Amino acid sequence: MDRRAWLTRIGALAAAGIATRPDRLVGQEGADPLRMPGAVQQRTAVAASQNDETVKAIEHRLKCTCGCNLDIFTCRTTDFTCGTSPELHKEVVALLESGNTPDQVVAAFVAKYGEEVLMAPKAEGFNIAGYIVPGLVLTLAGAGLAAVLMRRHRVAAQAPALAASQAGGAVAIPGGASAEELARLEQALMDVDR
Amino acid sequence: MTLLGNFSLWVALLLSAWAAATSFSGGWRDKPQVALAVVRSTYGVWIALIVASIALWKGLFAHDFNIEYVAAYTSRNLPDSYVFSAFWAGQKGSLLFWAAVLATFGAIAQFTASKRHKELMPYVAGVTLAVTGFFVIVMLFGGANPFDRLSFTPPDGRGLNPQLQNPGMVIHPPMLYLGYIAITIPFAFAMAALLSRKLDTGWVHAIRRWSLLAWIFLSVGITLGMWWAYVELGWGGYWAWDPVENASLLPWLTLTAFLHSVMIQEKRGMLKKWNVGLVVGTFLLSIFGTFITRSGIIASVHSFTQSNVGYFFLAFLIIVAVVAFTLLYTRWHLLEPETELESMASREAAFLFNNLALVGIAFSVLWGTLFPILSEAVRGTKITVGPPFFNRVNIPLGLLLLALTGIGPLIAWRKASPENLRRQFTFPVATGLVIALAAMGVGIRDFYVLMALGLGAFVLGTIAQEFYRGIRARNRMHGEGVISAFLALIGRNRRRYGGYIVHLGIVIYFVAFTGMAFKVTQEVTLKPGDSTEIKSPFGHTWKLTSLGVSQYEALNRVVSAATLELERDGKPMGRINSEKRQHVDSFGQKSFEPSTEVGILSDLREDLYVVYAGSIGGTEESSFAISINPLVWWVWYGGVVLVIGGIITMWPGGVSQPARKRQSAQAGYAVPMAGAAVEP
């Protein structure tokens, strides 16, 4: 290998090394300070409890009290400006760690912050109306509509029969068309207009 | 500019008050010149409000911070596009926007209305001008005048909320406003028909395109709102059942019901009372949405600053409801149906149940939105009605609606025979069952997801069958190829096939919504060089490696961009950025809390959604919220398909004159047959 080839090879190896190893990632004992740290929210390192599915499920049932109208989990993982939801998260974790079940945690929140802290009201007492009225109204309206339509249909169906009996049993055919022609017309209309 | 703006508002108020009073008193009757003056007042009010709008835009672009509105919503370093959209960013400007657009629509309605409706037009002018005048009153007397001046001139304005500095927010609010506002025109025609007692199908024909236009604007506005919430707010979802979101959905639902039920009135002469009621209800719901947004009566993330404006809207809502329903009651006898339903197995019946489902969902959403107020009034206890409540109550109703979306087109008008039903339902039902079983086969066990997929496939089967039969018929009759037959099919019967495309959009929406049931989220802290992995519901493994945070100054903000390198199943997938933006005024002072720009990598199956949460100890070590959101892009595609279908349905022409006559004959009420008890 001549000197030129050796230098070329060394250069290529060095370039490959630089390309695959960005200098900012060398040594991970610490991270570089930001030039303008005030331009970013300051956070604490993510704790295991923040990814705990039980904690998340409880937080989805409870409203953040900061006034955002979101549940605790959504509020604390949305734009990270809220100082309330991280504190409420800590309360949830503390209650769970002290041996409470998820329902007991929720009950403790209701006792402390009132019923408004629930993202959906408990289905008891007057709140039952909240859950069943829409379905009930729709069911009753549907049944009423069906009853009215069937009654009208019966009345409409009885009218030609009544006319036929008054005319001696023969149904008056509009426009003098034959029954066969009317049947064909009916079929054609249904086919075209389907 | 403020002088010109105020003057224009007063001109608009006085002119609209005179024309509305003349119209409602009937003072134009037998006086063609007065009738013409009433109609032309619409143009006068339009000009006055356009001048006022130009005056406000002039103030915004001139950075006239002595105008309170300009100082509150703009700053010297705000990009021009957002200075433009600041017009409707605040309460006062949005009221002027509403009034100006309504005046424009009113003028267009007068200009384009055919002579067939000349007896209605002065009333239409009166109603549109009364509503326009109401908005001007709110501005002038409700403490919402966008031309109010400050007692001093600040050196710079406060700037626009960073979350509103997004292209979605430039388009989303005006689209929703256009939808709300366009509803006023059908309402004006309905009121005109009631006032003039001209309650034949004339007013229904006159409002068809306006109704579709309002529906399209609302659809675009709602979809863009979902997109904005998804890309800007950073919570990884697009619909939170917030009261203001609900308020936009309510008129959309009732308008959709009207667009179906009006077909029954046009074809069969039925549902006249119901249709007037739906138009009135839709208008009231559009005002109700405005009332919710501006009154502060219900907690919402979208609300404008609480003000007295809400009382004006509440009073207006009550007055309009009383007047409209009193008019409807007094004209009840003029709205009798021309034909009766012939069978429960008919398209009319299916449409009626479809209407019931749509109005039922609207009622359910309204009920849930207002239930906290009701509960507080009855029990004295404040409660929250959030997504868990709405999902529990509305998902079953939504699935019922999806089923009816497929059933309606399969049943013939008037009466379907058992043979007809068998022939029509076999393929769509089989399609739905196959897809539902296949979904179970791949391990999906969520009942609602299975139902949504099965019913979505059923509707898709209906649409495919309708297109297939139409194309085959054209192929047989005209020898057309598949593509030309497909295009001719849509071109010649835009309403029917445009409607099917809308249904396709609805199916796509529903299927996309199921994706959120499988969303996964995790929070991590990463130093530069650290990696984390997240498993997607589709079985992929994503690896994200932090490349650190770079900071730089942009036009009106300091940007901190966290970059992550991506791999999916070991394959490089590029990089993703999520930013924190600290907005500053022109003196470099912080103007708002740092906002978040989400990093999103999308494909047809799933979105990788990264939110840079913040810095650990002021270093490049950062915390992130990382989510995999399945099927989200299908929500946007569904919206596009929906709107394309709506535009096709609305597009003029498409049916030849003989075909129109044939349709009239099919209607059954327009061509009386000898001996048949059918009224003209």
Q: What is the ipTM of this complex?
A: 0.81
A54 neighbors A102 (Cβ within 8 angstroms)? yes
Q: Nearest-CA neighbor of B549 among B585, B594, B518? A: B594
Q: Is residue A101 domain-shared with residue A136, that is, in the same domain?
A: no
pLDDT tens per residue across span B166-209: 887 788 889 999 999 999 999 999 999 999 998 888 889 889 99
Q: Is residue A109 domain-shared with residue A153, that is, in the same domain?
A: no
Across the interface, do A190 and B414 touch by the CB < 8 Å criterion? yes
Domain finish residue from A117, A145, A179: A117
CA distance B227 to B245: 13
Q: Which residues contact A123 (CB under 8 A, 6 or more apart)?
A: A130, A131
pLDDT tens per residue across span A27-74: 445 688 898 888 888 888 898 999 999 999 999 999 999 888 889 999
Domain finish residue from A66, A99, A117: A117
pLDDT tens per residue across span B298-316: 666 555 556 678 889 999 9
Q: Is residue A67 domain-shared with residue A95, that is, in the same domain?
A: yes
Q: Does residue A82 sit within a domain?
A: yes
Higher pLDDT among residues B212 and B667, named by residue: B212
Residues of B in contact with A117 (CB under 8 A): 384
Residue A20: its pLDDT value, please? 42
Q: Which residues contact A3 (CB under 8 A, 6 or more apart)?
A: none
- Structural domains in chain B, CATH included, are 518-633 (2.60.98)
Give the residue numbers spanning the domain of A140: 127-192
Q: What total number of domains does chain A contain?
A: 2
Q: Does residue A31 sit within a domain?
A: no
pLDDT tens per residue across span B7-48: 999 999 999 999 999 998 887 888 888 888 988 999 999 999
β-pairing verdict for B531-535 and B520-526: unpaired
Separation in Å, CA of B240 to nearest CA in chain A: 8
Domain finish residue from A97, A117, A137: A117
| CATH assignment of the domain containing A92 | 1.10.8
Q: What one-character DSSP code corresponds to residue B662?
A: H
Q: Which residues contact B644 (CB under 8 A, 6 or more apart)?
A: B501, B505
Separation in Å, CA of B390 to nearest CA in chain A: 9
Q: Does residue A35 sit within a domain?
A: no
Q: Is the pLDDT of residue B427 over 60?
A: yes
Residue B630: its pLDDT value, please? 95
Q: Does residue A37 sit within a domain?
A: no
Across the interface, do B413 and A190 touch by the CB < 8 Å criterion? yes
Q: Does residue A172 sit within a domain?
A: yes
* Average pLDDT along chain B: 89
Residues of B in contact with A192 (CB under 8 A): 662, 666
Q: Is residue A107 domain-shared with residue A137, that is, in the same domain?
A: no
pLDDT tens per residue across span B53-107: 999 999 999 999 999 999 999 999 999 999 999 999 888 999 999 999 999 999 9
Q: Does residue A142 sit within a domain?
A: yes
pLDDT tens per residue across span A88-117: 999 999 999 999 999 999 999 999 999 999
Residue B306: its pLDDT value, please? 60
Q: Is residue A111 domain-shared with residue A132, that is, in the same domain?
A: no
Q: Is the pLDDT of residue A11 over 70?
A: no
Across the interface, do A134 and B558 touch by the CB < 8 Å criterion? no
Q: Which of the four pLDDT bands, split at 50, 70 and 90, describes residue B657?
A: very low
Give mean pLDDT, residues B210-237.
92
Q: Is residue A157 domain-shared with residue A96, that is, in the same domain?
A: no
Across the interface, do A138 and B242 touch by the CB < 8 Å criterion? no
Encode B220-255: b = buried (16+ Cβ within 10 Å), e = exposed.
bbbbbbbbbbbbbbbbbbbbbbbbbbbbbbbbbbbb
Residues of B in contact with A74 (CB under 8 A): 235, 237, 240
Tracing tokens 């209305």 back to the chain, one arrives at: B113
Q: Is residue A50 domain-shared with residue A112, that is, in the same domain?
A: yes
Q: Is residue A110 domain-shared with residue A70, that is, in the same domain?
A: yes
B590 neighbors B584 (Cβ within 8 angstroms)? yes
Residue B7: its pLDDT value, please? 95
In chain B, % of residues over pLDDT 70: 94
Nearest Cβ partner of A152 from B340, B551, B596? B340
Q: Which of the four pLDDT bands, split at 50, 70 and 90, describes residue B356?
A: very high
Q: Which two tokens stand for residue B72?
A: 């509150």
Q: Is residue A109 domain-shared with residue A50, that is, in the same domain?
A: yes
Residue B33 has a CB neighbour count (10 Å cut-off) of 8
Q: Is residue A135 domain-shared with residue A167, that is, in the same domain?
A: yes
Residue B347: its pLDDT value, please? 85
CA distance B19 to B16: 5
pLDDT tens per residue across span B234-292: 888 899 898 889 999 999 999 999 999 998 888 888 889 999 999 999 999 999 988 88
Q: Is residue A53 domain-shared with residue A112, that is, in the same domain?
A: yes
Per-range mean pLDDT, top range of A134-143, B43-52, B203-212, B379-388: B43-52
CA distance B435 to B458: 9
DSSP assignment of B289-346 equals HHHHHHH-SS--TTPPPP-THHHHHHHHHHHHHHHHHHHHHHTGGGG--SS----SSS
Q: Does residue A165 sit within a domain?
A: yes
Residue B613: φ, ψ to 5°: -80, -35
Q: Is the pLDDT of residue A153 over 90?
A: no
Separation in Å, CA of A116 to nearest CA in chain B: 4
Across the interface, do A121 and B375 touch by the CB < 8 Å criterion? yes
Q: Does residue A67 sit within a domain?
A: yes
Residue A22: its pLDDT value, please? 46
Q: Is the pLDDT of residue A174 over 90?
A: no
Q: Is residue A57 domain-shared with residue A78, that is, in the same domain?
A: yes
pTM: 0.87
Residue A26: its pLDDT value, please? 42
